[in-house]
Amino acid sequence: MSGHFCDEHGVPFFKKGNMRGYAHKIDNTEQWCNEPKGASEESEPEHEGKPQHTPISKDEQIARHVWEKEAGLSVRMWKEHPETKPKFAWADAVIKHHYAEMLNILGIKSEDKE
Q: What is the DSSP string of 26-65?
A: PTTSS-EEEPPTT--TTPPPP-TTPPPP----HHHHHHHH
| Residue 20 burial (CB count, 10 A) | 8
Q: Which of 29-33, 39-43, 90-94, 107-111 has the highest mean pLDDT?
A: 29-33
- The pLDDT value given to residue 88: 79
- The pLDDT value given to residue 91: 83
Instruction: Please write the tens of the pLDDT for every residue from 31-83.
Output: 999 998 876 555 455 555 555 666 777 777 777 777 777 777 677 777 787 88
pTM beyond 0.75, yes or no: no
Indicate the domain borders of the chain. Answer: 1-40, 58-106
